[in-house]
């Protein structure tokens, strides 16, 4: 059995389209690997075993590079110290007073969540920006920016 160059191109496009139906951002790398092999087979004759080997290597390398270097750097990882987040700013979405907890929202997740309950030593109305001054368990202490 022989696999022509256009089989690899069609398979690669199918995998890329499948990524639209199953948005895992993982299948796309196998589709791009198939496109790469299709182009190589078009340019030079390659044995079937070499084609599959190239596909596996190219796909694996792209998955590795994505996971290692390019995957969403805005996500925080557990195990980071609280000092890594001191000074981060967000928008108060529920007023915080000296007696009542409020709520803050960040543009990027902080410690795995973009919305946190907050306390403060002063009243900060909703709509104002505030910065983290301390992490106290599941509550952030903030002050006016």
Q: Is the pTM of this model over 0.75?
A: no
**Same structural domain for residues 53 and 110?**
no
- 40: CB partners within 8 A, 6+ apart: 46, 54
**Same structural domain for residues 39 and 11?**
yes
- Report pLDDT digits (tens) over 113-143: 889 999 999 999 999 999 999 988 889 999 9
Say how far apart CA 110 and CA 127 lie, in whole Å: 19
Regions of the chain short of the pLDDT cut 70: 71-82
**Same structural domain for residues 10 and 59?**
yes
The token pair that represents 85 in the structure block: 């987040």
Domain with residue 102: its CATH number is 2.40.50.140
Please report whether residue 77 resides in a domain: no
Nearest-Å Rg of the Cα atoms of the chain is 24
Please report whether residue 60 resides in a domain: yes
Domain final position from 70, 95, 112: 70
Element spanning 102, H or E: strand 102-110
**Same structural domain for residues 118 and 139?**
yes
């Amino acid at each position: 059995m022989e696999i022509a160059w256009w089989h690899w191109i069609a398979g690669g496009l199918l995998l890329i389209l499948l990524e639209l139906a199953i948005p895992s951002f993982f299948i796309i790398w196998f589709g791009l690997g198939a496109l790469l092999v299709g182009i190589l087979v078009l340019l030079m004759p390659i044995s079937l075993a070499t084609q599959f080997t190239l596909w596996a290597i190219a796909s694996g390398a792209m998955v590795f590079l994505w996971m290692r270097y390019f995957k969403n750097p805005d996500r925080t990882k557990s195990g980071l110290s609280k000092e890594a987040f001191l000074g981060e700013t967000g928008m108060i979405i529920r007023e915080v007073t000296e007696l009542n907890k409020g709520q803050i929202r960040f543009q990027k997740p902080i410690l795995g969540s973009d919305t946190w309950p907050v306390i403060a030593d002063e009243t900060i109305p909703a709509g104002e920006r505030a910065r983290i001054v301390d992490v106290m368990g599941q509550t952030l202490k903030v002050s006016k920016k």
